[in-house]
Amino acid sequence: MLHADFAMIDDHEIVHILGSDNRVKVSEISPFIQQWAIENNGRFRPGYYVLRILEAFVAGGHASLWYANRLLLALVSALALYAGLRVILRPIPTAVVTLLFFSGPQNEIWTRLGPAETYGVPLVLTGFAWIAVHLGRHKWQPTRLFPGLTILLLAGFVKESFIPVLPAVLVFIYIVMPLMVSSVIPGRPRFRFLDVLILLLLVTGVGMQVWLTVRMLNASGLHDFHLAESPLRLFPYAIKLMLERYSRDTLWFVPVIAGLAGFLLRNSQVRKEPSWRADVMKATALLAAGGFLILVPQGLVYGNSAFAGRYFTPGNLFSVFAAALGLYLCSKNAVERGHIKLQSIVAGMLIAVTVFKLFGTYREANAAALSTHKFQTKLAEIIALKTQHPDLPLLFYSVNVYDREPLISVASFLAARLPNPEKPFLNPFDWKARADSVTTRALAKLISEESLEGDEFFAKISDFDGGSQCIAVIFSGFNENVRCPHLIRLSEL
């Protein structure tokens, strides 16, 4: 992974920020933040670009430093999660659940440079750690938890999917816990004026994030596109898919079942006491409340998207919450030899599934690294051809609307690396004829406009006068009418 290079997908933003001199100067940081933080594509994630530009300033064009920082952020996340879980678990179960967090397809956020989750997850887990440690000391007042809650608020500025995290935490701490865990937070918590003020500030901050997200979406003209497939209609499917994937990747239900079964395995004398039934009901209610507060927002945010990789974050925190609760119940009931043996078996199963998934992550990271080198080799071929034939225009050829990001990516790389950069042309094609959904029709409209009218990446096709003298870069399909003597196929990547 540390030997990987910049990839075609997502990483062109890094190259675009770095520019032709392959670095960001101190004097450029503030202008770049002002330029990049406000997007025109319906997204609201200013914190992502602030951190992106700062990282570009530190790492420059050294891909190995970017990947090394991903490992550092993963380590920070693991340490923060471990610190938070130690409040309720012993060292070994804590280490097991911490390891479990890295089981699943969302691990691509640590092996790729593009995902905003790479910045958001360490913030969320650091905020959780602060909150958990202080709750463990019975310091539940908002004034005590303010630093941790503020970090969760900041995570919402990194990516929209993290906005629901803070409201969910506030509901869990000040509504669910007083009802279920009154030993930590009193059933009727009393707030001082400063506590109320802090809560109002946090709620206002979340409200501002939601308002700005909706406003940016409306301003971009993509509001109807994003809501064409109703998240509410697809919500049950999203929840089902998440639970299936989290179950397969983490076996979170194993410690939960073992923890609840531990109550039944107690000796008959203990089971005669009514308190064990109340404990079972509280544990079940906590699991249901945590699952609702974590999975429902995730399902609503991504309900109209295809779940894959990074999009399982931050919903995968449900697996951590459930496994931690289950192991806590196991340790609470582990008073007999058989119970301790059961806890060991559960921990062994969780370690086994995580190690198996981590091997998968390792293989995927190696394959992705190899893919980056293949892409950079093709890119070098284009640059060499263009350098040898500076008068020949570049013609990008595509028949697939999903090529839009690769098209923009290669144009960005070439703009930064060509000795005398010029905008490529994008072949005219009736992309709309192949569009069969709301998503593809929206992409077809964008790519058609880029070809016909040009933009910051492409020249207007009407200005193309290369005739049969050009350099063609093939992204998908091929038309014999393209008579360029020089052809480079990126469709093979």
For the stretch 389-441, pLDDT in tens is 998 999 999 888 889 899 999 999 999 999 888 899 998 887 777 777 777 88
Does residue 384 sit within a domain?
Answer: no
**Shared-domain flag, residues 323 and 464:** no
Pick 338 or 374 by higher pLDDT. 374
In a domain, 290, yes or no: yes
Same-domain pairing of 357 and 393: no
Clarify whether residues 351 and 415 are in a common domain. no
In a domain, 380, yes or no: no
Of the candidates 105, 118, 7, 146, the residue with the CA atom closest to the CA atom of residue 52: 118
Same domain membership, residue 301 and residue 259:
yes
Q: Phi/psi of residue 265, each to 5°?
A: -85, -5
Give backbone dihedrals phi and psi of 139, rounded to 5 degrees, phi first: -105, 85
The mean pLDDT of 288-312, rounded to a whole number, is 81
Q: Do 56 and 22 share a structural domain?
A: yes
Is pLDDT larger for residue 212 or for residue 189?
Answer: 212
Q: Does a structural domain hold residue 35?
A: yes
Closest listed residue to residue 442, CA positions, set 48, 115, 42:
42
Best CA proximity match to 425, nearest among 387, 388, 463: 463
Domain endpoint, select from 333, 366, 399: 366
Q: Which amino acid is at 202?
A: L
> What's the number of domains the chain is made of?
2
Asked whether residue 374 is domain-assigned, the answer is: no
C-alpha dist (Å) from residue 168 to 29, 162, 173, 360, 477: 34, 10, 9, 32, 47
Domain co-membership, 227 together with 137 = yes
Rounded to two decimals, the pTM is 0.91
Task: Report the pLDDT value the prediction gives residue 443, as an integer from 0 to 100.
Answer: 83
The answer on 422 and 338 residing in a single domain is no
- Position 228 scores a pLDDT of 45
Average pLDDT (251-265) is 85
The tens digit of pLDDT for each residue in 22-38 reads 999 999 999 999 999 88
pLDDT level of residue 224 (50, 70, 90 thresholds): very low
pLDDT(137) > 60: yes
- Asked if 140 and 181 count as a contact pair (C-beta separation under 8 A), the reply is no
Phi-psi region at 327: left, alpha or beta (left = phi > 0; alpha = psi -120 to 50): alpha
Partners of 426 in the β-ladder: 396
In this structure, the answer to whether residues 146 and 246 fall within a common structural domain is: yes
Which of the listed residues 334, 366, 398 is the one where a domain comes to its end?
366
Q: Give the DSSP letter string of 161-174.
A: GGTTHHHHHHHIII
What's the pLDDT band for 303 if we cut at 50, 70, 90? low
Asked whether residue 154 falls in the same domain as residue 266, the answer is yes
Give a yes or no: residue 381 inside a domain: no
Q: Does residue 300 belong to any structural domain of this protein?
A: yes
Q: Which residues pair with 489 in a beta bridge?
A: 474
For residue 54, the enclosing domain spans 12-366
pLDDT confidence band for 127 (50 / 70 / 90): very high
- Statement: residue 220 has pLDDT above 80: no
Q: How many CB atoms lie within 10 A of CB 196?
A: 11
Task: Examine the pLDDT at 223 and tell me if it is beyond 80.
Answer: no
Q: Are residues 257 and 360 both part of a single domain? A: yes
| 120 and 218 co-located in one domain | yes
Percent of the chain with pLDDT over 70: 90
Whether residues 362 and 399 share a domain: the answer is no
In a domain, 402, yes or no: yes
